[in-house]
Amino acid sequence: MKLTLKSDLDLARTLNKGNWAILTATMEAHGSGHTPRNVGANECLAEYLDEQDFAYIPLTGFYKGVDQGTSFLVLEIDANDALDLSRRLRQESFLAPEGLVYTTGAINPRVGCFVFGKSAADGPAYSRTENGLAFRMDLRDK
């Protein structure tokens, strides 16, 4: 079920609650996040999330100012389920409350608090909701 958050406060409450993952079906080997193959893969991921009754918030991810395409903030997902889904999507990693989780099991831990609003874009990587709410989490290893 696709959700929309109305404010930075709603977003902060959601992220600080934990039990979420940011997942994508975009594969760099297939080009940018906006190639037809990657767009189609993310449409299929959204359909899967709907079929499995996951609540999710569509995002656009940015890295060094470049739009990376669609990703999804999936709510109330167990860490093992997020790991399993990320592996099935053939991803190297996904974001979770504890940091960047690699499908090998290694974790690049989160440091500090989430950053919201315009300041989120000051870091190397951040995400933005469809209605413009921006956030980032800093990681120990950049």
Domain range annotation of the chain: 8-139
DSSP 8-state secondary structure symbol assigned to residue 103 = T
pLDDT at 142: 62
The answer, yes or no, to whether residue 75 has pLDDT greater than 70, is: yes
| Burial profile 92-119: b = 16 or more Cβ within 10 angstroms, e = fewer | ebbbbbebbbebeeeebebeeebbbeee
| Mean pLDDT in residue range 21-32 | 84
Query: Does residue 125 or residue 64 have the better pLDDT?
Result: 125
CA–CA distances in Å: residue 55 to residues 12, 27, 99: 16, 23, 20
Assess whether pLDDT exceeds 80 at residue 32.
no
Residue 31 has pLDDT above 70, yes or no: no
- Mean per-residue pLDDT, 88-97: 93
Tokens of 72: 């999804």
pLDDT at 17: 93
Q: What is the mean pLDDT of residues 31-36?
A: 78
Q: What is the average per-residue pLDDT within 51-69? A: 90
Mean pLDDT, range 100-105, rounded to an integer: 93
Say yes or no to pLDDT of 88 above 80. Answer: yes
